[in-house]
A and B are shown apart, each in its own frame.
Chain A
Amino acid sequence: MMKSIFRILIDIAIFICLVHAWWYFALLLAIIGLWNFGLYIEIILAGLIYDALYGSMKVTDIMGSIGLVVGVIFFVILTFIKKLVRIRE
């Protein structure tokens, strides 16, 4: 229960950071969330929101998809690292 509340709080904080374009805080919070919670898909959504708010709308413009690309890269790499180092009880 506490973990769910913590996750929602981090999600809200990430959204506030994205609206204010504080992407560095949003990325830091997303990494914390990604490390602490399972299947933290919010990091990809955060990238998508950042691109939608500030990036170019042209689908061919890769510069307008940096948020999505960074979100996916962090998601895949950290999920892989978590799988390697996590110890199960």
Chain B
Amino acid sequence: MTYIQSRNSRGGNSFRYTTLSVFLIVVAVIGIRFLLPNFFSGFMTAIARPFWRTEFSISSGQLMSAEALLDSKEDLMRRLDEANMRGATAFALAIENTELKSMLGRASSTPIILAAVLSKPPLAPYDSLVLDIGSENGIVAGSMVYGMGNVPLGKITDVLAHSSKVLLFSSPGQRFDVLVGKTHIQAIALGKGGGQYVVELPRDSKVMEGDTVAIPSLKSNLYGIVSSIVSDPSQPFEKVLFAVPLNIFELRWVYVEKP
């Protein structure tokens, strides 16, 4: 015979025991996280790291055939030659820039270290990266992280022995100062996730699509490029949307500033 389970049956007790067990597990987890904040993260990262490294190696082409690798090498050599030609001018300008700053006593001597991006969850709620360097490489929490072309991307938030986590500046809710457009209007940018930001400016600020956004520092690093302007004639402000000039979801290497 088939019947709907009674509320007074053993199932009711079982449900209570289950709920109690879950409550105890959550309390235990919070307790462990409070006493040993690195325990779960370090343990799980150590397990996941080989998988991330393997995936990174495959995406880097380490499992390609010898013929394909040779073709790729030739193509890369040719492109390297072209880039070297173009880079020579930029290099000369960079040296001149450093010399001028040095003459004025403002030369930067901050060392940087290259890091591989092991994980970049495209739809993860945290908008964070996992890097393959950690405290053993001299990284500390708060170190700045840059993309190719010295584009500031975020800051190191958590450091383990062999890996670290980066909270991107574009993480939802993050706020910071920027200089927008040709006239360098100072404003506060708000992260929207996925390398996207929004800034509110007066409607007559004359910012246009394609204008650059920089951070207020001597380095004048390019921070983003204005992608869209949302203007409402009834409002005194307009919303300027900008994005970093590289694809966050295709990042493979970043630079981390060492303290």
B17-25, B81-89, B95-103, B215-223 - interface stretch: B17-25
**Bound-complex Cα distance A13 to B136 (A):** 32
**Bound-complex Cα distance A88 to B14 (A):** 15
Question: A57 and B38 in contact (CB under 8 A), knowing A76-B22, A83-B11?
Answer: yes
**Bound-complex Cα distance A51 to B165 (A):** 12
Within 8 A of A (CB), among B156-208: 157-158, 165, 167
B48 touches A53 (CB 8 A): yes
Please, which residues of chain A bring their CB within 8 A of the CB of B126?
A: 54-56, 63-64, 66
Please, which residues of chain A bring their CB within 8 A of the CB of B44?
A: 49, 52-53
Question: A54 and B124 in contact (CB under 8 A), knowing A19-B51, A59-B37, A83-B15?
Answer: yes
User: What per-residue 1/0 map shows which CB atoms of B43-62 lie under 8 Å from chain A?
Assistant: 11100100110010000000
Within 8 A of A (CB), among B134-167: 157-158, 165, 167
A2 on the interface (CB 8 Å rule)?
A: no
B40 touches A72 (CB 8 A): no
B37 touches A87 (CB 8 A): no
Main secondary structure of the interface of A (DSSP, over half): helix
Please, which residues of chain B bring their CB within 8 A of the CB of A58?
A: 37
Looking at A19, A57, A83, which has the most chain B CB atoms within 10 Å of its CB? A57
Chain B residue total in the interface (Cβ 8 A): 41
A75 touches B41 (CB 8 A): no
Within 8 A of A (CB), among B1-48: 2-5, 11, 15, 18-19, 21-22, 25-26, 29-30, 33-34, 37-38, 40-41, 43-45, 48
CB distance from A80 to the nearest CB of B (A): 7
Please, which residues of chain B bring their CB within 8 A of the CB of A79?
A: 15, 18-19
Could you give 15 example pairs across A and B, Cβ below 8 Å?
A20-B55, A41-B25, A53-B41, A53-B45, A54-B128, A57-B37, A59-B30, A63-B125, A63-B126, A76-B22, A83-B11, A87-B5, A88-B2, A88-B3, A89-B2
> Which A positions have Cβ atoms within 8 angstroms of B?
19-21, 23-24, 39, 41, 44, 48-49, 51-59, 63-64, 66, 68, 72, 75-76, 79-80, 83, 86-89
List the 7 closest pairs (A to B, CB-CB), nearest first: A21-B121, A52-B44, A52-B40, A59-B33, A57-B158, A52-B41, A59-B34
